[in-house]
Amino acid sequence: MPHQGILLFAHGARDPLWARPFLDILDKVRSLRPTQHVDLCFLELMHPSLDQAVQAQIRLGVTDLTIVPLFMAQGGHLRQDLPTLIETLHRQHPALQIRVTPALGDSPELLEAIAQWVVARV
């Protein structure tokens, strides 16, 4: 049976406080998926990087990895940078099964929740 892991993938920022909501999401996902290895990683400016997080997951025995981009829109990072990173990971770790979910902002449910949140405050 494959050992499953989840990597929450965020952009990163210079200000460490920027990561607080992502750390909250990490805690919630870990509580909902206690049998899976769940970590948070960043494209730039923060650690761990995607590569570092993948290495850590492999050391824990993960053989089946899902990467969840916590991005609101399909900008260049998701259309160009992430596919390049995934291609490199596939070459470096051919036995590792890697799936990438749609971005957070591609979720109709999330967009509806945001719209409801906005309307409730105006």
Provide the CATH number for the domain around residue 27. Answer: 3.40.50.1400
Give this prediction's pTM: 0.93
Q: Judge if the upstream peptide bond of residue 83 is cis by omega within 30 degrees of 0.
A: no
pLDDT band at 76 (very low <50, low <70, confident <90, very high): confident
* Percent of the residues in the chain that have a pLDDT greater than 90, as a whole number: 94
Q: How many residues does the chain have?
A: 122
Which is more confident, 30 or 77? Answer: 30
Q: Max alpha carbon distance in the chain (Å)?
A: 51
- Could you list the residue range(s) of the whole structural domain that residue 8 is in? 4-120
